[in-house]
Amino acid sequence: MTFEFDAPQEQATNLAVNRSCATCSGDRFVLYATRTDTYNGHSAEVEELAPCPDCNAGVKTQFERPNGSYFRSPDPAKVRERLTR
Ligand SMILES: [Zn+2]
């Protein structure tokens, strides 16, 4: 008697990720800056990520803030400059 759960199971859940990028190791985003935010008297360090300039430079990250202004990711050339520091 064979049960369904005896069949070989797919172990990998994220096969589409390309881990060959030497810049981000497949994360698609890199650490761009850190800043300290304060809210209601509590402060926390916040990491700002930017699209990897080598494998994810074309991703659309722009969005409109509630006040009508737009967030835009830093230019890939600026991201690359930060990475080399
Ligand atoms: Zn990358």
> What pLDDT digit, counting tens, does each position of 33-85 carry?
999 999 899 999 999 999 999 999 889 999 999 999 999 999 999 999 998 86
Amino acid code (one letter) for 35: R
DSSP 12-63: -S-TT--TT-TTTTT-SEEEEEEEEEEETTEEEEEEEEEE-TTT-TT----E
Separation between Cα atoms, residue 35 and residue 38, nearest integer Å: 10
* Ligand 1 centroid – CA 51 distance (Å): 8
* Ligand 1 centroid – CA 35 distance (Å): 23
Q: Which residue in the block uniquely carries the two structure tokens 């589409």?
A: 16
The whole-number pLDDT of residue 15 equals 67
* Ligand 1 centroid – CA 2 distance (Å): 44
What 3-state DSSP class applies to 10?
coil
